[in-house]
Amino acid sequence: MPIHQPQQRTDVPSDRTGVRQAEAALVEHYPRLVRLAYVVLPPGLGRHRRVLTAHAVVQRALPAAGSKASSPRVPAQSRRTGPPASTEGASADRVPSHPAYGWVRLRVLRAALAHERRPRWWPGRLPAPAALRPALPVVWGLRLFPRAGGVDELALDRALSAVDGPVRAAFALQLLEGLDESGVRELLTEAAVADPAGAVRRAARLGRPDRAGAQAMLRSGEFDPCTVQTRPSDLLRRRHRVRAVAVAAALCVVAGGLAVAVEQGANGPGEDRSPAGVLAPVLDPAELMRTAAERWADTSRVDFTAWPARGGRTDDEELLGRALRAWAEPPESVRVSTTPGTAAVPPAEPPQLLFADEVDGAAVVLFHDSADRVVRYAEPLSGAGGGALDFARTDDADVTTGAAVVVSRTAEGARFLLAPWIAESATRDLLAPDTPGRPLEVGPDGVTAEVPRPAAGGACDAWPVIQLRSSERIVEKHAFLLTDLGELAPTHLTYMPKPGRGTPARQPREATGPDALLAWARTACSLRALAGSGVRSVNNWAFAEQKLPEGGAAADWVCTRADTWRGPGRVLVQFLAPAASPAEPATVVADRDDTALCSKFGQHILAGTHWRAASGRWYVLGAGSRAVTGIRATGDARGAAGGPTLAVRAPRDADVELTASLREGGTLKAVH
């Protein structure tokens, strides 16, 4: 569904030459400008709002007639006489060089970046002047989405969501606009970015090693807000909204009538300005959304929106009302916890009810709302003690990451509410890879028996996980592992096998096979370091295998990457030396936060460690991923080797720096 360009304005006075030229540039290059705005805008807006906001930002780029901005000052960057130089290869779509285009582009860039600087409560997150105008374009009853791309486009979108607006802007200006680094820094400076050079440096790491591929993806339909798909919003939810708006309008009329009868400025005795009063229609238990029991088997969106309401107290309006009021304005007696990056704010519209019942001595209610959050409310049945309110993010949840939610947690273990598409469930110990799983009892309402929790401290002698299998009604024989890291949403565990000779790079797969279980048996205890950090999934990538010196056996190198719900990732590089026990912990040789390493956009890695042979001699070992063609050691010990592994004699405390050569050119430093 193409969104057409706006008609040229005819109300601008003829003497406004600068504005007329800017308007002509805007109309001519409208799709390019909207795409730029879409990439720079915060992904947290959601694709529908981001599409509409991108169009609004561009359509508001021109100043009103008679304003002081009507005579545009041409930004320095746009005064070039030809297309700017590109470090990313020739562009198939030449960048306009007219000063008016540069002026409009700068205003679009400023407005898009301003969205990220607005407080979360600001209406529409728009810059202040625009927020006072009607939010155009307006689409009633439809949801708009760019055409879906493939796995690579989705990975690029997630990588962009993990960085801030200036970095996205620098990335887009280089790959979409073809600007060189100095041109990007100039333009970001004029857009009032605090650290343009830093944004350019961070943007340079995105899309590596295939920047040309990233450029093609950025120009694909996945990032084109001018060619979109439509679908209706939830029709039942829309009916509830209309009813709520009608009720609110009626209340406003009544309140207005009462206000006439009281002294101006006085607060009437019945006036309710509390959040619960303002949100009364939204927080009415009767307005809660409820999904049909079999919807999960007949929808392409298999996530929390497909969960039906379950439990014995789903019709208890008193309980549901207390839960909603606590969500809107938690009393001091209610303990509130949030997954990192999750907003603990009231819902913007009636949430979806997932569960309401009594579990382990507490009345528990689970909600899901349009902001992609799962919210758990619990109150003790005994009446003693306070309640609890927990928030967790669920952005882009799927068959696996939307398969379970913690419904109750005690000191010994946790019970999970399973998705309706789960056909089989079992528990197993990651530290016992050869021991088969044991069936996990699940009640008719989807609540499991208690699953032991991994020990948070002390000896790490067991790591319980749950193994689930999806119903064949949605996917055939899809089994996967989830582990409890102390939050509402359990963490999905995956595995990437060792590189085979002559075989292409492989994608993460479910961690249920023998090799995956053996790798996780050695690395499971390192998951303790990730507890409470909002981790969505953890992947073990066996990136290298190394024959050890002095006739030793082979050792494995594993990169354990944790991806959070909010985007940033953490990496632990682990060395798996030969061991007598299949559960002997690996050695962590590197730990990095906020990095693209070991992901789609960080496919190359080099790591090293000190290792002692049976003879007592010490070595420096190094290993790299499949594109590494050679490794060189410098410092207290020197040596070189062709291929992805290296072993050099060196003292135990030798300070050695490792550098790798890559197949496509360039070098790589060892991660620390």
**Which DSSP string do the residues of 512-576 spell out, in sequence order?**
TSHHHHHHHHHHGGGGGGGTTS-EEEEEEEEEEEEEPTTT--EEEEEEEEEEETTS-EEEEEEEE
120 in a domain, yes or no? yes
Q: Are residues 295 and 192 in the same domain?
A: no
The letter for the amino acid at 540 is: N
Query: What does DSSP assign to residue 289?
Result: B
CA distance 271 to 251: 11
85 in a domain, yes or no? yes
pLDDT digits (tens, 9 = 90+) for 255-280: 444 333 333 333 444 444 444 444 56
Three-class SS of residue 346? Answer: coil
Q: Are residues 122 and 206 in the same domain?
A: yes
- Which residues contact residue 449 at a Cβ distance below 8 angstroms, ignoring those fewer than 6 apart? 415, 440, 441, 442
Q: Are residues 83 and 192 in the same domain?
A: yes
558 in a domain, yes or no? no
Q: Are residues 311 and 196 in the same domain?
A: no
Mean pLDDT of 199-216: 84
Query: What does DSSP assign to residue 407?
Result: E
CA distance 662 to 486: 40
> Measuring CA to CA, which residue among 288, 153, 126, 262 is closest to residue 218?
153
Angle, alpha carbons 126-131-133 (nearest 5°)? 140
At which of 231, 260, 284 does a domain end? 231
Helix axes 30-40, 99-117, angle to 10 degrees: 30
Q: What is the pLDDT of residue 243?
A: 52
Output the CA torsion 256→258→260→264 (10° steps).
-100
Domain holding 184, by residue range, is 17-231
638 in a domain, yes or no? no
pLDDT digits (tens, 9 = 90+) for 158-201: 788 888 899 999 999 999 999 999 899 999 999 888 889 989 99
CA distance 512 to 437: 11
Three-class SS of residue 196? Answer: helix
pLDDT digits (tens, 9 = 90+) for 383-399: 777 899 999 999 889 99
Q: Are residues 162 and 280 in the same domain?
A: no
Share of the chain above pLDDT 70, in %: 78
Q: Are residues 191 and 274 in the same domain?
A: no
369 in a domain, yes or no? yes
324 in a domain, yes or no? yes
Q: Are residues 189 and 328 in the same domain?
A: no
pLDDT digits (tens, 9 = 90+) for 331-360: 989 999 999 888 898 998 899 999 999 999
pLDDT digits (tens, 9 = 90+) for 603-656: 899 999 999 999 999 999 999 999 999 999 999 999 999 999 999 999 998 999
Q: Are residues 174 and 36 in the same domain?
A: yes
Q: Are residues 223 and 347 in the same domain?
A: no
Mean pLDDT of 206-217: 80
CA distance 577 to 586: 7
At which of 363, 397, 431 does a domain end? 397
Q: Are residues 321 and 186 in the same domain?
A: no
Q: Are residues 169 and 301 in the same domain?
A: no
Q: Are residues 192 and 273 in the same domain?
A: no
Looking at the structure of the chain, the number of domains it has is 2
497 in a domain, yes or no? no
Helix axes 30-40, 165-175, angle to 10 degrees: 140
95 in a domain, yes or no? yes
Q: What is the pLDDT of residue 230?
A: 63
Q: What is the pLDDT of residue 279?
A: 58
At which of 377, 397, 417 does a domain end? 397
Q: What is the pLDDT of residue 93?
A: 52
Give the helix/strand (H/E) hosting 131. Answer: helix 128-131
Three-class SS of residue 483? Answer: strand
